[in-house]
Structure 1
Amino acid sequence: MRRLVTILLAMLIGGGSVAAQELTKRSFGRTADGSEVDLYTLKNGRVEVEITNYGGRIVAVRVPDRSGRVEDIVLGYDSLAEYLSDRAYFGGIIGRYANRIARGRFTLDGVEYKLAQNDGENHLHGGIEGFDKKVWRAEEIKGKGEVGLRLSYVSRDGEEGYPGNLTVNVTYRLRADGGLVIDYEATTDKATVINLTNHAYFNLAGAGHGDVLGHEVMIAADRFTPVDRGLIPTGELRSVEGTPFDFRRPMRIGARIEARDEQLEFGRGYDHNFVLNGRSGTLRLAARVVEPRSGRVLEVYTTEPGIQFYTGNFLDGVRGKGGQAYQRRGAFCLEAQHFPDSPNKPNFPSTVLRPGQRYRQTTVYKFSVRK
């Protein structure tokens, strides 16, 4: 049964046009244990976003190109059943710790914690059943000029090997200016580590519409964190100057992705954390991507110290929406986060959260069109 909540927020945007904010909800199915899952659609007249409370996944983002043609620019699936068996983390909230932790272990306050080794010998994206595989409690929200969804989850002490009962809230807000805001908050009753992000895969030409090598990317980072063969950071903060990782000026993804470079060999392309310029904790422009043919533009703003740039190097043959096979490098990810393996790298920004503290992170995906 479809329930419609129409929020008549008379918002004057460009040219005096009026956009009504709209939020709809429908059943998306049930998990194996019988938990009900819903699919929420957020609209603002220009952008339409679908989010499910299974993993907090961004299922679709529909935006127009310069001629007004609307395409879904996010990779994913048509059904909950497909998401239940997903191994690509399509659109999911990633936690308790996004990215990799070396050898699946870290020491905190003199105690060693052992985690799942689900990426070779390393720990990846929260383990076997990370936050992207949990059913979150959902609450519809509204505000002046925006419509949204607040998702809540309690990760119990010991879940996936992490210490502390962690209470997490993630709020998605679709603004009238085309910005999808993601606010993350968390508290704990015991010292733990935390690193949250979203793992949306974008192709601004349209999901499944070829590779993204022609997309032009700018990343506001003077340095990046080089990795070893297991994609674990070495601890170095290396200058991008003179390397294929220099995106300080717009550069096509495909311009240097096949360059002779050890780091590109390790990642089979770009799969690296960039050290963002500016002060961590302040919302600032981290990246801008332009798809020249359609004119679609994605800007990423974040309060985080880093952003993982991934070019879909392991996508080859993954079947998604409409049964189409997503090709290798058929999407890119820009995952705002703390650095990989920070619990084992004292020189990296800390990811420790203690009782009485509050974890906060904000990332904005802003969609527009270049004429």
Structure 2
Amino acid sequence: MKVRTDVLHVAGRQLKEYTLINANGMEVSCLNYGGVITKIMAPNSKGDFENVVLGYANYDEYIDNPHFFGALIGRVAGRIQDSSFKLNGKNYSLQSNNGAHHLHGGTTGFHKVIWQTETFEYEDAVGIILVHRSPDGDGGYPGNLAMKVTYTLTNDNAFTIVYEAIADQKTVLTTTNHSYFNLSGNLKTDILQHNVQMDASRFVELDHELIPTGRILPVDNTVFDFRQGHAIVDGVHSVDQQNLVALNGFDHYFIFDHNKKENLTITDSVSGRTLTVKTDQPGIVMYTSNALNDTVELREGKSSKYLGVCLETQSSPASLEHDGFPSILLEKDEPYKKTTSFVFKTI
């Protein structure tokens, strides 16, 4: 178990890349810039270690990172309708960086921050602590926010992210990680044949701008029903209006039932890799990279549509507009703590 630190010169900045290495040889690499996960080396059923996340070939691309590859997202993950919200009778205006709407904290969000870092090495775990103080009014959000994120890799091949925060006034917060997973290894294929099983009987309806309509729909008798498991490609071929508005795929918030130990499991039968997600978050946005095109140079080659799947565990920004959605409100001096584990195994 160890942490390797490399100093990088990226677009005129000196950054650090940390690589967490467990006793099995699994590796997770991340930057202090944006907390970006640049690479995860996980074994297939034959014991071969290959990269299972999307990452830029040229690290300079992480500075803008329009696709949010591997990044920490905040203060609010997802879209805030019309880039504004009301809190305690006051209107707050945010940057419109997704049409008329605010997406993933805007262009000054957590993915653009150089985080303060501290590494740790224990007998059964290695990791890194990332700390950032976001001032009152940062990006338009109220409150001074103290943020801490901990990445931990164990010998069980579990990569865990713990998000902690506290604010000095009532505010809004829901954080996540925006890694694109591809279990084929070194991007051999797309993710369309990946099988997803998810403990969720409800999902959120979207309009043509991918903004929640306020309706929470049952998954019954739709391709959004992953309770028994099926391939991602089913949503691509679907004529369901909800798949069509998402550019023929999934970009939806699923609300977990929390009836099972695992919230979600993805399996690639060819490589034999499985990825299990366990979280205390109320739900997840599963995005199947429907808007990704072939203009991005990745470590293994050109990007393409359906090359990765994002598993964004979080609450719902729609709670600012509609009742019945998992809230993103954070009270003054209320501790915020959320945990998500990504466990890699083979079949």
Match of 1:29 in 2: 9
Identity %: 38
* Residue 323 (structure 1) shift: 6.7
* Residue 115 (structure 1) shift: 0.5
Question: Aligned partners of 2:71 and 2:338: how far apart in 1?
Answer: 16
Match of 2:254 in 1: 274
Question: Aligned partners of 1:284 and 1:98: how far apart in 2?
Answer: 24
Amino acid at match of 1:154: R
Question: Aligned partners of 2:11 and 2:149: how far apart in 1?
Answer: 21
1:284-317: per-residue Cα shift (whole Å, max 9, x none)? Answer: 4211000010100100010000101110101111
Amino acid at match of 2:18: Y
SS of alignment partner, residue 263 of structure 2: strand
1:103-182, aligned counterparts within 5 Å?
103-182=82-161
1:312 to 276, 289, 301: 289
SS of alignment partner, residue 264 of structure 1: helix
1:351 to 299, 321, 328: 328
1:174-204: per-residue Cα shift (whole Å, max 9, x none)? Answer: 0110000100000001111001000000110
Gaps of 5+ in 1: 1-20
* Residue 321 (structure 1) shift: 3.0
Question: Aligned partners of 1:181 and 1:250: how far apart in 2?
Answer: 24
1:230 to 201, 206, 209: 209
Match of 1:38 in 2: 16
Question: Aligned partners of 1:116 and 1:360: how far apart in 2?
Answer: 26
Aligned 8 A contact 1:97 1:194 in 2: yes
Q: TM-score, normalised by structure 2?
A: 0.96
Question: Aligned partners of 1:239 and 1:25: how far apart in 2?
Answer: 47
Does residue 188 of the first structure (1) align with residue 156 of the second (2)? no
Q: 1:284 to 1:193 in 2, by over 3 A?
A: farther
Question: Aligned partners of 2:75 and 2:295: how far apart in 1?
Answer: 25
Question: Aligned partners of 1:361 and 1:168: how far apart in 2?
Answer: 12
SS of alignment partner, residue 160 of structure 1: helix
Question: Aligned partners of 2:113 and 2:146: how far apart in 1?
Answer: 13
1:330 to 295, 300, 307: 307
1:1-16, aligned counterparts within 5 Å?
none
Amino acid at match of 1:42: L
Question: Aligned partners of 1:31 and 1:193: how far apart in 2?
Answer: 32
Taking only aligned residues, the RMSD between alpha carbons, in angstroms, comes to 1.5
The worse-fitting range, judged by mean Cα deviation, of 91-100 and 346-355 is 346-355
Amino acid at match of 1:312: S
Match of 1:262 in 2: 241
SS of alignment partner, residue 174 of structure 1: strand
Question: Aligned partners of 2:70 and 2:261: how far apart in 1?
Answer: 22
Q: Aligned residues, how many?
A: 345
Question: Aligned partners of 2:322 and 2:9: how far apart in 1?
Answer: 42
SS of alignment partner, residue 98 of structure 2: coil
1:230-249: per-residue Cα shift (whole Å, max 9, x none)? Answer: 11111222110001100001
* Residue 46 (structure 1) shift: 3.6
SS of alignment partner, residue 236 of structure 2: coil
Amino acid at match of 2:6: R
Gaps of 5+ in 2: none
Question: Aligned partners of 1:46 and 1:249: how far apart in 2?
Answer: 32
* Residue 30 (structure 1) shift: 4.8
Amino acid at match of 2:256: L
Match of 2:72 in 1: 93
Amino acid at match of 1:208: L
Amino acid at match of 2:32: N
Does residue 361 of the first structure (1) align with residue 341 of the second (2)? no
Match of 1:60 in 2: 39
* Residue 349 (structure 1) shift: 2.1
Amino acid at match of 2:150: T
1:140-197: per-residue Cα shift (whole Å, max 9, x none)? Answer: 0233410000000111111111001111000000011000010000000111100100
The worse-fitting range, judged by mean Cα deviation, of 208-217 and 129-138 is 208-217
Match of 2:279 in 1: 302
Question: Aligned partners of 1:299 and 1:208: how far apart in 2?
Answer: 19
1:285-296, aligned counterparts within 5 Å?
285-296=262-273
